[in-house]
Copies of this chain bind each other. A is one copy, B any other.
């Protein structure tokens, strides 16, 4: 997770060709964490106006497969990407506006990685999504106490 300032080197280390679209996408995701594909396309085009949407899709997949990006997709949302990889962090998602924030593991390095019954599955990752309302939305909706799930 080093060398944030040198995307070229990141690509080289991942044995990926260093192309203009890849650099632009990598930079765009770095500066727009949790952005969806459309936002990434727009951000990428600020630096490289003529990239095709297809190129961005391809690059996002290549970088995700290479471990340079992480793809997240809360239920009901389109795919989003972030450049923070290699650690085990989770996300809080606002049910109302869809805002996403990072959340570090509550307990040590990998909490919840041991389900009570794995049904024989070889589990290698526990993904946690905290659902709720962001400060802005919870201030906007004066909902008393009707919702309570845990």
Contact = CB atoms under 8 A, between A and B. Distances in A.
A130 B72 CA distance: 14
A112 B90 CA distance: 11
A113 B28 CA distance: 32
A138 B110 CA distance: 22
Interface string A108-150: 0111111111111111111111111111001000000001111
Q: Oligomeric state, in number of copies?
A: 2
A124 B131 contact: yes
A75 B93 CA distance: 14
B149 A121 contact: no
A127 B125 contact: no
**Which secondary structure dominates chain A's binding surface?**
loop
Contact of A75 (B71, B94, B123): B71
A148 B113 CA distance: 13
A110 to B, nearest CB: 4
A103 interface: yes
Contacts of A130: 113, 115, 118, 121, 123, 125-127
